[in-house]
Amino acid sequence: MKVLVALSGGVDSSVAASELLDAGHEVVGITTRLWGGESDTGCCSIADVDDARRVAQQLDIDHLVFNFTEDFNTHVVDPYIQAHRDGLTPNPCIECNRHLKFDRLSERADLLGFDAVATGHHAQVVQRGGAWFVARGEDTAKDQSYVVHMLPQRELAHTLFPIGHMTKAQVREKAAMLGLRTAAKPDSQDVCFITDGGGRTAFLGSRIPFRSAQVIDAVDGSALGEVDALEMVTLGQRRGIGLVGGGPKRYVVGIDHKTATLTVGDESLLQCESIAVRDVVWAHEPVVGPVAVQCSAHGAALSGELTSIGRGVSIAWDSPQRRVAPGQSVVFYDHSNTYVLGGGIAV
């Protein structure tokens, strides 16, 4: 099979390419140039592109670079900025996977005559009842099924996750055995277009006007302080909300962008019985009933009952859970918490 493997410059994609070669596939490496601005983290830095090229040389495979910067700005960066302006907490890496690393890459692979696209995600693709699903990776601590939950049937049928059956330790062990330059390279943890030096504040502050907001107490409505940038605050936040130290722990339990007001209170005020989810995409067909739910990239699975509400869904938790910040991705798994049924955006 002719496979186009996405080489990010990290150890996972490097070993993914090696696994494909071991399986006898014809492999070509591809690195996508996404962010045209300053970058010193994530998968968009010059160093990462160079590492990907060197790994391709070590594995003796062809290496291509595709420039998707315009699409990246349109589908990832601009919505990220707008989400903060609107008071949402976005998942830019998920949108990058949705629109660039799979949709655009699969489109390009088809045009070039490839049979499949492969990435170094810690996830698996399984077939059940004639349909394809994303399943959790073997290494539960590194599982990335959450960030690739949105893949539709047409892409799942031609997507490979070659290291999904491996633990992270096994990946690094194989990379070291092959002498790959990425064997000991640390995992990327940050959004690629946010620099270490400036962070989110510098990035967003140069692109949208920040508004100050009054901080009030959830119990008696008394004024407690002020924050300089309402757009930088998210539900459940405890630090950086303009409160003096020494008192009881207070969390952001409400954000009103119309009145530029933050409400803070005890953590118990963040508990809820259910959650509404919009913009739902299904792996195969809509589902109702008991599900396992993941609300963040590294969050624990929660149990709930899923019901349909118009174009979205509602999940009634089996026991009260902490509220999810609007804008975050919510992913539904089968009740055994093994494979993805669908996902959407928290309201």
Establish whether 44 is a catalytic residue. Answer: no
Q: Are residues 259 and 276 in the same domain?
A: no
Residue with more model confidence, 41 or 131? 131
Catalytic residue from among 93, 192, 272, 295: 192
Residues with Cβ within 8 Å of 333's Cβ and at least 6 positions away in sequence, in order, are: 136, 145, 291, 292, 293, 294, 301, 339, 340, 341
Predicted confidence band of residue 47 (pLDDT cuts 50, 70, 90): confident
Is 192 an annotated catalytic residue?
A: yes
- Number of structural domains the chain divides into: 3
User: Do the beta carbons of residue 90 and residue 83 sit within 8 Å?
Assistant: yes
Q: Are residues 251 and 296 in the same domain?
A: no
pTM metric for this prediction? 0.94
Instruction: Tell me the C-alpha distance between 285 and 303, whole Å.
Output: 20
With cut-offs at 50, 70 and 90, classify the pLDDT of residue 41.
low
**Whether residues 119 and 228 fall in one domain:** no
Domain boundary among 155, 178, 201: 178
Same domain, 239 and 289: no
Q: Would you tell me how many other CB atoms lie within 10 Å of the CB of residue 147?
A: 21
Last residue of some domain: 131, 158, 178?
A: 178
Domain that holds residue 308: 271-346
Q: Percent of the chain at pLDDT above 90?
A: 87
Check whether 42 has a pLDDT greater than 70: no
**Mean predicted confidence (pLDDT) in 112-135:** 97
Report the CATH number at residue 131: 3.40.50.620
Instruction: Tell me what the pLDDT averaged over the chain comes to.
Output: 94
Quick: pLDDT tens for 286-307: 999 999 999 999 999 999 999 9
- Give the pLDDT mean for 219-246: 91
SS3 of the chain: the string is CEEEEECCCCHHHHHHHHHHHHCCCEEEEEEEECCCCCCCCCCCCHHHHHHHHHHHHHHCCEEEEEECHHHHHHHHHHHHHHHHHCCCCCCHHHHHHHHHHHHHHHHHHHHCCCCEEECCCCEEEEEECCEEEEEECCCCCCCCHHHHCCCCHHHHCCEECCCCCCCHHHHHHHHHHHCCCCCCCCCCCCCCCCCCCCHHHHHHHCCCCCCCEEEEECCCCCEEEEECCHHHCCCCCCCCCCCCCCCCCCEEEEEECCCCEEEEECHHHHEEEEEEEEEEEECCCCCCEEEEEECCCCCCCEEEEEEEECCEEEEEEEEEEECCCCCCEEEEECCCCCEEEEEEEEC
pLDDT reading at 189 higher than 70 = no
> In the prediction, which pLDDT does 92 show?
96
- First-to-last alpha carbon distance for the chain, in angstroms, is 42
Claim to verify: residue 226 and residue 290 sit in the same structural domain: no
pLDDT tens digits for range 247-258: 789 999 999 999
Closest CA relative to residue 274, chosen from 324, 216, 227, 209:
324
Sheet holding 116-118, edge to edge: 62-67, 26-33, 2-6, 116-118, 159-160
- pLDDT class for 309, splitting at 50, 70, 90? confident
- Do 51 and 162 lie in one domain? The reply is yes
Give the residue-averaged pLDDT of 105-120. Answer: 97
Say whether pLDDT at 39 is over 80. no
- As a whole number of angstroms, the distance between CA 170 and CA 57 comes to 22
Q: Looking up tokens 């624990």, which residue turns up?
A: 300
Tell whether 170 and 32 lie within a shared domain. yes
Q: Could you read off the pLDDT of 70-108 as tens digits, one per residue?
A: 999 999 999 999 999 999 999 999 999 999 999 999 999
Residues 70 and 162 in one domain: yes
- pLDDT for res 197: 77
